Structure 1
Amino acid sequence: MAGRPVASRQERARAQELARRIRALREARGWTRERLAKEAGLHTRTLVRLESEGPVQPGFFTVGRLATALEVSLDDLFHGAGRPGGIWSVGYEGRDIDSFVACVREAQIDAVVDVRLTPISRKPGFSKTRLREALHGAGIDYVHLRALGNPKDNRAPFWEGRLEEGRARFRSLLVAEEAEAELTQLAGLVGTSRVAVLCFEQDARRCHRTVVLDEIRRRCAVEVTELA
């Protein structure tokens, strides 16, 4: 008996993006999976599988029922499901948590990658747990890559305008095994998702994330977009 055809990486990526889109629309309505399944006339286990795994070829009628229940067109439901990956740069300086989440959601970001060494902030909502909860509530993934954080003893050059000194020091730290592994992880995300790299400074030139972004630009041959 012939087995199921093996899905390509691109097909899996599109399915995962569709799963995120359905989850985001459901959560925006404040619905549980059970509620959406009932409204769409589907088994809850079907929706669980669709949201968590993203079947490569979901049935047309299944998708149609979900679109009807969520009161969106099929085009809206699939909006973004075939988008290429990419990378954005964002700082939360001068923002509150609500405007920040609205900004990344409007840009259709799939995942926010936090490159702070210690993801703790005096600004309400920007410490790791609260930030992750706020992003998940908007259907956006949160990833913390600690090894791509800037150590405390290399922050003064960025604050004092000695940017090349700070960048050179941080660049030398990226050869460490853990940092290299996390750069590879980030590059993989960029290949299939719309990723925003996050730190505090609004101006990326004053932040070590510029070095991270330059390295990903080199590895993935992608342009970096500043998220206003």
Structure 2
Amino acid sequence: MEQSRCLRLPGATPTFSGLLLPRIPDLAGEQYSDDTASGRSTSMTVFTIGYEGLDIDTFMSLLGEHGIETVVDIRELPLSRKPGFSKKALARTLNLSGLEYVHMVDLGCPKPVRDRYREDGDWKRYTGSFLKYLKSQKAAIADLSDLVNSSNCALLCYEADFNFCHRSMVASAVREHCGAEVEHISVAKVRTATPAGRQLACA
């Protein structure tokens, strides 16, 4: 079974997909003074990014510009015809640059929902179907919220326009769960398709 090469961190514990994630400190008491002393803000932001229209070098530059520490891949199938964006190659590139890669398959859009959208291009139906599925993934949203609390994370999927990608719904669920701000990393001069013409690639 293919596994991502997540960096081992001190005090790490195994969690979903066999990946290692840092222990999340208790947010009470001394944690606040520690954050203040280190200059780290207690506010959280979850970023999102789509790699449509990007090459791997531009993608990595965007991550650096936004101080991303962990890329959370929320494609159900983390495969791509674009060089560098399939799971193994992407994890390798991120790890060599000192970033972490985490694949959260439970937050990918289920294949039946994607297939229906390919057939009818009905975004409203797609949104309703995915949100219904997402309500059943409370544990995954909780795990992701913990990760957002400990690392500067970017949710990864394919679509350049977050308005027509399930990552916007996942980010909103994290915001509702833990109060994190949401920031969608904008990609300038990237051509996007109309909703009816989209092909959700490995979402």
Between the aligned partners of 1:174 and 1:163, the Cα distance in structure 2 is: 16
Q: Which residue of 2 aligns with 1:211?
A: 169
Secondary structure of 1:105's match? Answer: helix
Between the aligned partners of 1:157 and 1:167, the Cα distance in structure 2 is: 10
State the one-letter code of the partner of 1:170: F
Q: Which residue of 1 aligns with 2:50?
A: 91
Q: Which residue of 1 aligns with 2:143?
A: 185
State the one-letter code of the partner of 1:165: R
Secondary structure of 2:146's match? Answer: helix
RMSD: 2.7
After TM superposition, the structure 1 stretch with the greater mean CA deviation from structure 2, 154-163 or 166-175, is 154-163
Q: Is the 8 A contact 2:113 2:130 kept in 1?
A: yes
Secondary structure of 1:201's match? Answer: coil
Indicate yes or no: 2:65 matched with 1:106: yes
Secondary structure of 2:61's match? Answer: helix
Which of 133, 138, 148 matches 1:173?
133
Indicate yes or no: 2:87 matched with 1:128: yes
Between the aligned partners of 1:140 and 1:117, the Cα distance in structure 2 is: 21
Secondary structure of 2:46's match? Answer: strand
Q: Which residue of 1 aligns with 2:157?
A: 199
Report percent identity of matched pairs.
36
Structure with higher Rg: it is 1
Where do 5+ consecutive residues of structure 2 fail to align?
A: 1-24, 187-203
After the TM superposition, which parts of structure 1 deviate over 6 Å for at least 4 consecutive aligned residues?
Answer: 10-15
Indicate yes or no: 2:123 matched with 1:163: yes
Q: Which residue of 1 aligns with 2:184?
A: 226
Cα deviation for residue 180 of structure 1 reads 2.2
Which of 107, 118, 121 matches 2:77?
118
State the one-letter code of the partner of 1:189: L
Where do 5+ consecutive residues of structure 1 fail to align?
A: 1-7, 18-56, 58-77
Cα deviation for residue 12 of structure 1 reads 7.5
Cα deviation for residue 13 of structure 1 reads 10
State the one-letter code of the partner of 1:224: V
TM-score w.r.t. length of structure 1: 0.61
Q: Is the 8 A contact 1:158 1:166 kept in 2?
A: no
Cα deviation for residue 158 of structure 1 reads 7.2
**1:12–1:169: structure 2 CA closer, same or farther, 3 Å change rule?**
same
Residue deviations 1:126-163 (CA, integer Å, cap 9, x gap): 00011011111111111100011112221243785522
Q: Is the 8 A contact 1:187 1:220 kept in 2?
A: yes
Between the aligned partners of 1:217 and 1:180, the Cα distance in structure 2 is: 13
Between the aligned partners of 2:134 and 2:68, the Cα distance in structure 1 is: 25
Higher RCO (Cα < 8 Å, 6 or more apart) = 2
Between the aligned partners of 1:122 and 1:83, the Cα distance in structure 2 is: 38
Looking at secondary structure, tell me which structure has more helix per residue.
Answer: 1
Between the aligned partners of 2:118 and 2:176, the Cα distance in structure 1 is: 22
After TM superposition, the structure 1 stretch with the greater mean CA deviation from structure 2, 209-218 or 86-95, is 209-218
Between the aligned partners of 1:183 and 1:14, the Cα distance in structure 2 is: 27
Matched positions, count: 157
Between the aligned partners of 1:197 and 1:157, the Cα distance in structure 2 is: 21
Secondary structure of 2:142's match? Answer: helix
State the one-letter code of the partner of 1:208: H
**1:109–1:92: structure 2 CA closer, same or farther, 3 Å change rule?**
same
Aligned pairs (5 A) from 1:135-154 = 135-154=94-113
